[in-house]
Amino acid sequence: MMKENPYEQHGQGRLALFPITFFSVTLGLGGWAVATQGIERILPVGNLASQVILGLDILVFALVFALYAAKAISHPSAVRREVRHPVTLSFFPAVSIGILLMSVAFLNTNTELSFLLWVVGTILHAGLTLYIMREWITQEHFEIGHMNPAWFIPVVGNLIVPLAGVTHAPADISWFFFSIGIVMWVVLFTVVTYRMIFHRVIPERLLPTLFILVAPPAVGFIAYVKLAGGLDAFGRILFFFAVFMFAFLMTLGARLARIRFFLSWWTYTFPVAALVAACTLMGRLAPSVFFTGMAVVLWVLLSLFILFLGARTAISITRREICVEE
């Protein structure tokens, strides 16, 4: 006899299974919008593309937020299970990061809205960071095998705060969040490297999260340059380490290409968008055709890949391959 899925009762099964990981879509679109703004500064193409992408990001964020809020109201036990899960717990800060990315995207066009989004995103992310770190050290069911690059998501959010924070608040607030992000990045990078070398291979579904390793140094570079007021040796270290991590992960391209589609594929997008923005900034600080060209090439590849992911996600939704019990 087929086991009855408890979520299918009352016709609300798919909403109960709506995953917090869906917010990774909004991270990809938000990062794409910010990266596109950087490309528009170095190429005479106007700003229509970034405005369209930002509008799409807002619509998708609102839809995903509404659906997850409905899930939280209708199926609070399902949300609690995600909070206690060693993988999905780290995706909750994607909500605050999505808000912070919109703040960055509006920084040059609507300062008041950017400030409001920054305040909401910063407060929310601070609370989520404290909660998640407390869970990491007080829970009794996490093991080293549960460690994966998604754990960097709360860390990256702290590094995003200064991107708009240097404009909206005293510098020490941005330094505070930058310090949390950069130190915890080193700590978690050490742990995740140990886990990948000496323990079992990360499950196929989570392999795309390896690209999150690019995000902390790439975002950290942009944040540091804004805080320091220019490019120095430490900024170069962050930038070139981000480039190295991207090059290293590209050596896994053949293996990653064989993975069947999961929603986790969207985790490719934000780190690459962050690297595009870092290359654009580096191209302005240390004028070079190489950095500018790298930014443009990566942006084109990112744009094509996001269009592909959008189509593939839509197909998976119509086939009912998403929001299923895992």
pLDDT of residue 326: 63
**Tokens at 277, concatenated:** 């923005």
Least confident window among 81-85, 162-166, 178-182: 81-85
Dist. CA 94–CA 155, nearest whole Å: 11
pLDDT of residue 11: 42
Q: Are 117 and 100 in contact (CB under 8 A)?
A: yes
The residues, ordered by sequence, that sit 6+ positions from 300 with a Cβ below 8 Å of its Cβ are none
Dist. CA 37–CA 49, nearest whole Å: 8
pLDDT of residue 3: 41
Least confident window among 39-43, 227-231, 238-242, 273-277: 39-43
**Tokens at 234, concatenated:** 């430490």
Q: Which ranges of 171-288 does DSSP label H, i.e. alpha helix? A: 171-198, 215-228, 233-250, 253-257, 269-285
pLDDT of residue 4: 41
Degrees to nearest 5, angle at CA 91 with 85 and 95: 135
pLDDT tens digits, residue range 115-141? 999 999 999 999 999 999 999 988 878
Phi, psi (5° rounding) for residue 12? -120, 25
pLDDT of residue 5: 44
Q: Which domains does the chain have, with CATH numbers?
A: 13-318 (1.50.10.150)
pLDDT at 145 over 70: yes
pLDDT at 6 over 60: no
The candidate with the shortest Cα–Cα distance to 159, out of 105, 223, 103, is 223
Which amino acid makes up residue 276? V
pLDDT of residue 127: 97
